[in-house]
């Protein structure tokens, strides 16, 4: 869906922000660009919607070179979410969300109806929030309006620059979960910039790690990035905790669950569902101070996971 080939950007002052970048994003895929401050992540994103023109290379969306045609029209067809949201302060929430459909020539009544649906979709009841102004919302709520506005034109592609960066960690976690749920429903092609490796491995189908000077070091699914960093630079960036981080990106595999021998199921306490993460399983084990946790598949009890089982599951997850 998005294809970058040999893309570089050198700003007029001589700063090379991005160097010879090749990157592919499949349709419906969520790719996170992650790396230290100043490594060229935002520049890469802005080249995709032509807020910044590349110095060299080509960028295609759905087979069309983005440099053909009008950049303003291009941007209207791509959702863009930024950290400071960029809502119009003197316009009501509903009007903010209606902006792009109106620019695209939709009728006012259609745009209003669509904006109401989108506010509901991002968890803001229009009856309560539509007529408020941005300063009458919390940071997390404003961020949701930003997402609703970016979705308003139903763009196939969403570009998100630190979309959850401006809120506290608890709200951020909630917004991430909501966004993942939304994305499972909508299946947009998303490129999301973050400096937070935990956010990247939580949200990304694939994670692209950048280094200073806009060099792409590794682009991989989270489990492989954490399990097999290609070099010391990536290993240093993903951190010494990468083993722990793998727990959160690895789902419980029902084929690796052990049968329950001689232990009454009733003595197991809390159970986890197949498909939950190994981190969820370990968290319950430690919380309840037990050496195992029961695993269920709907109403069916499928067995138990032990610490050794978790270790085995982590190893197996890298074989695929």
Q: Does the protein bind ligand ATP through residue 15 (CB under 6 A)?
A: yes
Q: Which of 7, 40, 144, 151 binds ligand ATP (CB under 6 A)?
A: 40
* Contact pick of 2, 31, 42, 81 for ligand ATP (by CB under 6 A): 42
Question: SS3 string of the chain?
Answer: CEEEEEEEEECCCCCEEEEEEEEEECCCCEEEEECCCCCCHHHHHHHHCCCCCCCEEEEEECCEECCCCCHHHHHHCEEEEECCCCCCCCCCHHHHHHHHHHHCCCCHHHHHHHHHHHHHHCCCCHHHHCCCCHHHCCHHHHHHHHHHHHHCCCCCEEEEECCCCCCCHHHHHHHHHHHHHHHHHHCCEEEEEECCHHHHHHHCCEEEEEECCCEEEEEECHHHHHHCCCCHHHHHHHCCCHHHHHHHHCECCHHHCECCCCCCHHHHCCEEECCCEHHHHHHHHHHCCCCCEEEEECCEEEEEECHHHHHHHHHHHCCC
Backbone angles phi, psi at 154, to 5 degrees: 50, 50
- The residue among 21 and 148 lying less far from ligand ATP, judged by its C-beta, is 21
Q: Least Å distance between CB 42 and ligand ATP?
A: 3
| Position 165 contacts ligand ATP (CB under 6 A) | no
Sheet (strand 157-161) strand order:
78-82, 157-161, 189-194, 30-34, 206-211, 215-220
Which residue stretch of 37-45, 150-158, 258-266, 311-319 sits at the interface with ligand ATP (rule: CB under 6 A)?
37-45
Stretch that binds ligand ATP, among 8-16, 53-61, 88-96, 277-285 (CB under 6 A): 8-16
Give me the least distance between CB of 166 and ligand ATP, in Å please. Answer: 13
Q: Which of 4, 7, 17, 247 binds ligand ATP (CB under 6 A)?
A: 17
Binding region for ligand ATP (CB under 6 A) out of 23-31, 33-41, 60-68, 300-308: 33-41
* Residue 66 C-beta: closest distance to ligand ATP, Å: 17
The reply to whether 95 sits near ligand ATP by the rule CB under 6 A is no
Q: Which stretch binds ligand ATP (CB under 6 A): 9-17, 131-139, 267-275, 291-299?
A: 9-17
Contact 309, 260 (CB under 8 A): no
Q: Give which of 257, 291, 286 is closest to 273, Cα–Cα.
A: 257
Using the rule CB under 6 A, is 96 a contact of ligand ATP?
A: no
Q: How far is the CB of 32 from ligand ATP (least distance, A)?
A: 12
Residues in 173-232 that interact with ligand ATP by CB under 6 A: 195
Choose the stretch contacting ligand ATP; rule: CB under 6 A; options: 20-28, 35-43, 258-266, 300-308.
35-43
Residue 118 binds to ligand ATP (criterion: CB under 6 A): no
Tell me whether residue 55 or residue 91 sits nearer to ligand ATP (CB atom): 55
Count interface residues toward ligand ATP (CB under 6 A).
Answer: 13
The nearest distance, CB 160 to ligand ATP, in angstroms, is: 12
43 binds ligand ATP (CB under 6 A): yes
Nearest approach, Cβ of 164 to ligand ATP (angstroms)? 14
Q: Point out which residues bind ligand ATP (CB under 6 A).
A: 11, 13, 15, 17, 35, 37-43, 195
């Amino acid at each position: 869906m998005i294809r970058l080939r040999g893309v570089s950007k050198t700003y007029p002052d001589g700063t090379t922000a991005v160097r010879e970048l090749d990157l592919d994003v499949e349709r419906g895929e969520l790719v996170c660009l992650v790396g230290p401050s100043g490594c060229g992540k935002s520049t890469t994103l802005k080249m995709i919607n032509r807020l910044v023109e590349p110095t060299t290379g080509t960028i295609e969306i759905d087979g069309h070179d983005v440099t053909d045609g009008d950049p303003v029209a291009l941007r209207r067809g791509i959702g863009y979410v930024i950290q400071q949201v960029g809502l119009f302060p003197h316009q009501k929430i509903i009007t903010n969300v209606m902006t792009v459909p109106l620019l695209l020539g939709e009728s006012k009544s259609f745009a209003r109806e669509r904006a109401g649906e989108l506010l509901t979709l991002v968890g803001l009841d229009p009856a309560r929030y539509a007529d408020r102004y941005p300063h009458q919302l919390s940071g997390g709520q404003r961020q949701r309006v930003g997402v609703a506005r970016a979705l308003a034109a139903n763009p196939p592609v969403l570009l998100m620059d630190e979309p959850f960066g401006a809120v506290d960690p608890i709200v951020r976690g909630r917004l991430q979960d909501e966004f993942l749920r939304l994305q499972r429903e909508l299946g947009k092609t998303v490129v999301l910039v973050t400096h937070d490796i935990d956010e990247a491995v939580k949200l990304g189908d694939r994670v692209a790690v950048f280094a200073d000077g806009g060099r792409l070091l590794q682009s991989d699914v989270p489990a492989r990035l954490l399990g097999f960093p290609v070099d010391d630079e990536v290993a240093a960036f993903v951190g010494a905790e990468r083993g722990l981080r793998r727990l959160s990106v690895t789902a419980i595999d029902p084929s690796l669950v052990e049968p329950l021998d001689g232990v009454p199921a009733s003595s197991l306490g809390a159970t986890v569902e197949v498909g939950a993460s190994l981190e969820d399983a370990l968290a319950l084990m430690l919380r309840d101070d037990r050496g195992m946790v029961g695993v269920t598949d709907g109403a069916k009890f499928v067995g138990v996971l032990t610490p050794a089982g978790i270790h085995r599951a982590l190893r197996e997850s890298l074989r695929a």
